Structure 1
Amino acid sequence: MKTICFYFQIHQPYRLKRYRFFNIGRDHYYYDDYSNEDIMQQIAARSFVPANRMLLDLIRSSKGKFRVAISVSGVALDQMEVYAPEVIDGLKELSKTGAVEFLAETYSHSLASLADSVEFQNQVQMQTQKVKLLFDQKPTVLRNTEMIFSDDIAEMAYNMGYSKMISEGAKLILSWRSPNYVYTSEVQPNMKLLLRNSQFSDDISLRFSDCTWKEYPLTADKYISWIDATSPQEEVFNIFMNYETFGNLQPSHSGIFEFMRALPQFAFDRGISFATPSEIMESHEPVGTVSVPNTISWSDEERDLSRWLGNKLQKSAFKTLYEISERVRLTNDRRLKMDWQYLQSSDHFYYMSTKHFYDGSMHNKFSPYQSPYDAFNNYMNVLSDFIDRVKAQYPDSVDNEELNSLLTTIHNQEREIKKLQAELKKVLTGNEEKLVEKRQRKRN
């Protein structure tokens, strides 16, 4: 039986305010609060809130047979808590249905997996804790930022305790094979993989309202018929897309909400079901392995990292940022740690991309800057001030070897403190029990 796996990504970065060279050392607040609030509230009203309502209606009307997965970055959740709490309320309602699975990802929607394995692990832990706190779910499936994946990342994720991931079904790793199966990592056979079907995903997220597309208009019946017409051996159809597809990337007047509301019933009529990523990977056996020696993503035709690390500006900023990661981990300064998270968002590097800037394409639509060079200068000014603040606590005179030694000492002390606290709790509990017994003997 054919099964559709819907996964939706939710992320919004903290955009930086105009930060000039002369602000360095004087102004330590970096964010454009007006833009962040305005953009979040607009997207919430156009997309997130009605999309939450739509999914909830579909789940209830199908008695839980319609099932989806959602991944939300920590920085997006931070903004929603302040600017659009109604979105979180809606996501909580979806979680309570038992038909929505929340996935793990990096807290900052960062590129940490490419530079710092410790930071990568810390961010995934932070995001999963936030998901547990808000939605009472412990994610078991990992989705890295922008579906970035490689053999090395598979190893890192497995060592972090994950045995299930989702990524892009790029032709350069699948060749003639179909993405419509469960696979495993060649370097880590215990790591199961679900790979995005780019054609079926992009038909909705990119082409739905394109009147020049030969298949326009796309109807739910037509879409399901395409899936039904595939080979009987192809059982899993991974439709992964941005949640903003509903109402923002594809405006409501395009009929995107009506399309989605009609789709489940057409699927059920043809015997096609819906399942979450963890359900599919638990119920389907892998058909083969995939080798990914070179890192892939779900961006652009190349499915590579060139959108974020394709030019010298991006690489320079990226290198400068992660050179101070060990020092940041030493600090207990909450403000520094918060800035560290927000400055890692991959969006800052995306804004520096020159890949398609001059043709006026998608880059201009999402970037708050007039040019990639403005984005680079603004970010580096902010980063310079941030680095000065970090070095004020942990100066360059302390080399990396000393930092590693200090980190090890701190971690050992933390473990010892936790051990002593557990022993103390055990002793106190024992004393309380003895005191209760003594009081009962006196009464008797």
Structure 2
Amino acid sequence: MASIVFYFEVHQPRRLKWFWPDSVRNENVENLEKFYYDDDENKKIFEKVAKKCYWPTNKILLGLIDKFKNQNKRFKIAFSITGTWLEQCEKYDKDLIETFKLMAESGCVEFLDETYYHSLSGLFADKSEFREQIKLHRDAMKEILNFSPKVFRNTELLYNNEIAKEVENLGYAGIFTEGIERILNGKSPNFIYGAKSGDSNKSNLAVFLKNYKLSDDIAFRFSWRNWNEFPLTADKYAGWLSASEGDVINLCMDYETFGEHQWEETGIFEFLKFLPDEILKHENMDFLTPNDAIERYKGTNQKEDNIIDVPWDKTISWADAERDHSAWLGNHNQLLCFSEVQRIAYLIDKISDEAAKLKFKKIWRYLLTSDHYHYMSTKNIADQEIHNYFSNRTNAYDAAVNLMSIISDLKEKILIQLLNEATYQKEKIKQEKETLEAEQRKEAYMRSRIFKM
């Protein structure tokens, strides 16, 4: 039997304002966020996508969950929701979160963990920030959705052996990444694989591989009229799934596929409504959440020939034709910003004022969000169209100049904070020294008076 694992990524970045350092030359940390982040634009985009995608798709999915809840084969799905999305949802459309809570209560929906800020921290040499952001996300899932994830999904499905090791050490049972051919050596992505753990192949971490061809048939090709399979209908697609060999078919895509990337006029909502019925007409298929799949197919990832080995320099992701990290770190400007933003972490840790440190760190963490680096990409025409679609800057150069301006300004503000603290500490030491010397003079005087008596 082939089990369908449907996984949706729900994310909105905190977009940056067009920024020039002179505008905030004398501002302190209390006011920096309003100069760096374009929350008017973020609100506008969130409300637009909520209307086009989140609300109608959630309504459809809740209806499907209810429709199949008493049947032998239930409709099941999985989500990963970023911390930045949750923050915006709480600010701009609180009622929407309630629909995700209903899904969590249904028992048919699993929520995955990821980095809270949808960040590139998994690519840092020092993984402490990566671990901290995962904890922040885990806490948010528990607090908001009362859910404790057991499976992990890294930002943009970025994956290598180092990331897998960190995720396993944090206690997760599984991780998602891209089912690209170069890591499979001729095998199918439709099985649960194991992660390479250090020098040993013995790892308990299950690796779910996205079937990118079948996923992209919905996410990218659904409305493409020049595609030889256009139009894609639910029964046709279910037939393709049924004919696929393997244990699990992982269909992974942005949640905004429904209604935002593929507009309602394309028929994407009707496709989604009818798809579960068409899939379950085939006796050899059912729906599972990722954790269900691990339970059913446990052991297959322990076979020696089922180990996924991805060294750091061969990092994979779900982006662009290359499916590596070049969408975010593929040119000089991206690498420069990535290098500079990491250096800031060292400076923040030196701040003594705990309140100021927390504020600087929060501002800094939003700058780690992968979208900012994605906007700077300079790729071939096909991939660049995707980068431009998501960007709020007119071109990659403007995006790079803007991000570096903010990084540089933030660094300057942190250095001023450290200088002020050092000056304060120096003055404090000076005053303490003067007080001590005065007390010593007073004590010496009193002693001299005693001796004279």
Q: For residue 350 of structure 1, report the CA deviation from its aligned partner.
A: 0.8
- Whether the 8 Å contact between 2:9 and 2:80 is mirrored in structure 1 is yes
What residue is the counterpart of 1:355 in the other structure? 379
Per-residue CA deviations over 1:12-70 (Å, capped at 9, x if unaligned) read 11111111132252452311122110000000000011111111000000116100000
- Whether the 8 Å contact between 1:328 and 1:340 is mirrored in structure 2 is no
SS in 1 for 2:236: helix
Moved more, 331-340 or 160-169: 331-340
* Mapped partners of 1:177, 1:159: distance in 2: 27
Structure 2: gaps (5+ residues): 423-453
How many pairs align?
A: 396
SS in 2 for 1:361: helix
What residue is the counterpart of 1:59 in the other structure? 65
- Whether the 8 Å contact between 2:153 and 2:176 is mirrored in structure 1 is yes
- Whether the 8 Å contact between 1:149 and 1:295 is mirrored in structure 2 is yes
What residue is the counterpart of 1:101 in the other structure? 110
- Whether the 8 Å contact between 2:196 and 2:203 is mirrored in structure 1 is yes
- 1:7-26 paired onto structure 2 within 5 Å: 7-26=7-26
SS in 1 for 2:300: coil
- Whether the 8 Å contact between 1:25 and 1:388 is mirrored in structure 2 is no
Please tell me whether residue 313 in structure 1 is matched to residue 328 in structure 2. Answer: no
Please tell me whether residue 279 in structure 1 is matched to residue 279 in structure 2. Answer: no
- Normalized against structure 2, the TM-score is what? 0.84
SS in 2 for 1:332: helix
Counterpart among 227, 241, 255 of residue 227 in structure 1 = 241
Please tell me whether residue 344 in structure 1 is matched to residue 344 in structure 2. Answer: no
What residue is the counterpart of 2:444 in the other structure? none
Could you say which structure has the larger radius of gyration? 2
* Mapped partners of 1:174, 1:218: distance in 2: 28
SS in 1 for 2:252: strand
Give 1:387's aligned amino acid.
K
- Whether the 8 Å contact between 1:194 and 1:281 is mirrored in structure 2 is no
Give 1:332's aligned amino acid.
A
- Whether the 8 Å contact between 2:321 and 2:383 is mirrored in structure 1 is no
What residue is the counterpart of 1:36 in the other structure? 42
- Normalized against structure 1, the TM-score is what? 0.86
With over 3 angstroms needed to count, the CA separation of the structure-2 counterparts of 1:84 and 1:389, relative to structure 1, is same
Please tell me whether residue 289 in structure 1 is matched to residue 307 in structure 2. Answer: yes
* Mapped partners of 1:346, 1:395: distance in 2: 31
- 1:24-423 paired onto structure 2 within 5 Å: 24-27=24-27, 28=32, 29-63=35-69, 65-115=74-124, 116-187=126-197, 189-231=203-245, 234-271=246-283, 272-284=285-297, 285-287=299-301, 288-293=306-311, 294-329=314-349, 331-333=354-356, 334-356=358-380, 361-394=385-418
Moved more, 364-373 or 44-53: 364-373
Give 1:295's aligned amino acid.
T
